[in-house]
Amino acid sequence: MSPEPRITRRGVIGVAAAGAITATIAGLGGWRLQQRPIRTDGGAVSGGSRSTLQIPPLAEATVDADGTRVFELTAQVGSTQFLYDTQTTTWGYNGAFGGPTLRAREGESVRVEVTNELNEVTTAHWHGMKLPAKADGGPHQPIHPGETWTAEWTVEQPAATLWYHPHNHGTTEVHVYRGLSGLFFIDDEATGTDRDPLPHDYGVDDIPVVVSDRAFLPDGSFDETHRSAAGMLGDTILVNGTVNPTFEATRAETRLRILNASTARTYRVQLDGGSLLLVGTDAGLVPEPKRVDAITLTPGERVEVIVQLEPGETKMLRSLPHTLGLLGTTERASGTRDPLDLLELSRPATSTGEPVFETLLASAGGTLAAVIPPLDEPDERRTVTMQDAKINHRRMNMSRIDEVVTVGARERWFITNEHFLAHNLHIHNARFRIVSIGGSKPAIELQGWKDTVYAPPSRTVVIDVEFGTATDPHLPYMFHCHMLQHEDQGMMAQFVVVNPGEAAGPIISPVTQDGGEHDGH
């Protein structure tokens, strides 16, 4: 068993020393310690006024004779107008930028056929999904230009807001930055029925809010050359690809499914003049809704909230200046000091209707999901430490199995960020509950099911992990920092899920023939 790591005097001195040399490292590595001024409306398509929030279309699907739901996605190059009178070359799934929202039900068989019309290798990873390793869409499932890759699995998890994006080793950051991402909703048997108290009319009172940031060059193209300590930080906020967006609510209550799709930036989300009613986290609905003043989302994290508006009322969803527990210069380089307008919400004065969620919830029994069971004694304990572009002091190697998980095991992981930069951790094919952060109970917004968690420097995050039911001793899943520059640099490791007593490895994959070293990608 691995005991919980302790913060030592040597570790504290090391972090302090790291802070003392941050400016030197920044100069050598090209970090921008002073960020560009944040643009809020000057570059909007309309020349300064607000633009109606674009809603990603629901993906079309067919259903085979055996009941399998089939989706088709094409990764392609397009052109999008973000800035006034300027076109930007972008990438998207089934369109110029972003991707359609896929939707499937718990217990349903799914097949997604992904065609690559780009001029380079990409992948399509289903973030938050429990599924076989061969369908995971990580770096071991490359899609070469002109080829189609097919992923098939049976949905084995309850209602949740998941997403999909590229996961090619070494180029994930730039592929996502160019626009490749979309949402994947999981429904359960109650979704959309009289037993569902949540707003569920897609695009009307159930709204996707995909938040990201971009920087632009004078010719309107994305600026992929300047990076901060965390990665590429933009000076322009996009929500569903919309600059300076506004959404007109036609009902008293609106459900917002918020995804931090940025490659590096963290948001501290707050609603002006009102609280947020938390109803879901990364990997599912919460048992009991809770009111919160603000919610921090690091890259890859999601949250579902309900907001209320009175007729004639307008409120702004903002990101507040916040801290990630970093040293001063590093904090600024991570963009946490930036105040950001995310999405204006308004309700017409002529709108009618009263809030009904709490009444419907009471009629449905007062809970949205099963209570998360405590784990008294895990089957396995693991220690995960994070260093500069390393996990457990090793960079990613595509040919190496770092951990072996026995199917059905409940594990407790001890995650410690030993670096002075911000890092989070995402685990594929899993969901988890956070036991503690630095020895303290997690905040309300962190008490539901998660698949991504922030790891503050020199503090240990303890999580209890539940993995999917598929096994494959020869094909791994990933766990990694979801600040995508760090992932691309090698802050990623691999695990396989095996049956009891089954030997793991070797890895059999089309991308391991060259040895799989990070530096080779």
Among the listed ranges 54-63, 366-375, 449-458, 490-499, which one has the minimum average pLDDT value?
366-375
Q: Does residue 500 sit in the same domain as residue 412? A: yes
Give the pLDDT score at 100. 98
- Give every CB contact of residue 24 below 8 A, 6+ residues apart in sequence: none
Regarding whether 233 and 168 lie in a shared domain, the answer is no
Q: What is the residue whose two structure tokens read 């695990």?
A: 495
- The 10s digit of each residue's pLDDT in 82-129 is 988 899 999 999 999 999 999 999 999 999 999 999 999 999 999 999
Q: 74 and 175: one domain?
A: yes
Query: Does residue 395 form part of some domain?
Result: yes
What's the pLDDT band for 40 if we cut at 50, 70, 90? Answer: low
Q: Where are the beta strands (DSSP E) in 282-379?
A: 284-292, 295-297, 302-308, 314-319, 340-346
Residue of 154, 168, 130 lying closest to 429 (CA atoms): 130
Closest Cα partner for 415 from 443, 457, 383? 383
Share of the chain above pLDDT 90, in %: 80
pLDDT in tens, 146-171: 999 999 999 999 999 999 999 999 99
Establish if 33 belongs to a structural domain: no
pLDDT at 37: 55
> Is 38 part of a structural domain of the chain?
no
My answer on whether 431 and 291 are in the same domain is no
User: Which tokens is 488 given?
Assistant: 């691309």
What average pLDDT does the segment 415-441 reach?
97
329: burial class by Cβ within 10 Å (0-12, 13-18, 19+)?
Answer: middle
Each residue's pLDDT tens digit, 361-397: 998 888 999 888 877 889 999 999 999 999 999 999 9
pLDDT of residue 514: 55
Phi-psi map region of 185: left, alpha, beta (phi>0 left; psi -120 to 50 alpha)? beta
Average pLDDT, the chain: 90
What confidence score (pLDDT) does residue 297 get?
Answer: 98
Q: How confident is the model at residue 24 (pLDDT cuts 50, 70, 90)?
A: very low
Residues 359 and 389 occupy one common structural domain: no
Check whether residue 253 and residue 282 sit in a common domain: yes
Q: How confident is the model at residue 439 (pLDDT cuts 50, 70, 90)?
A: very high
Q: How does pLDDT run across 464-521, given as a tens digit for each residue? A: 999 999 999 999 999 999 999 999 999 999 999 999 999 999 999 988 865 545 443 4
What CATH number does residue 170 fall under? 2.60.40.420
**How many independent structural domains does the chain possess?**
3
As a whole number, mean pLDDT of residues 418-428 equals 96
Question: What sign does the CA torsion over 434, 375, 163, 171 have?
Answer: positive
Residue 197 domain flag? no
Residue 125 exposed, middle or buried by CB count within 10 Å (0-12, 13-18, 19+): buried
Q: Do 158 and 306 belong together in one domain?
A: no
Q: Does residue 27 belong to any structural domain of this protein?
A: no
Task: Tell me, yes or no, whether 386 and 495 share the same domain.
Answer: yes
- Structural domain including 277 reads 206-364
pLDDT at 1 over 80: no
The pLDDT-based confidence of 13 (bands split at 50, 70, 90) is very low
Q: What is the predicted pLDDT for the residue at 8?
A: 39
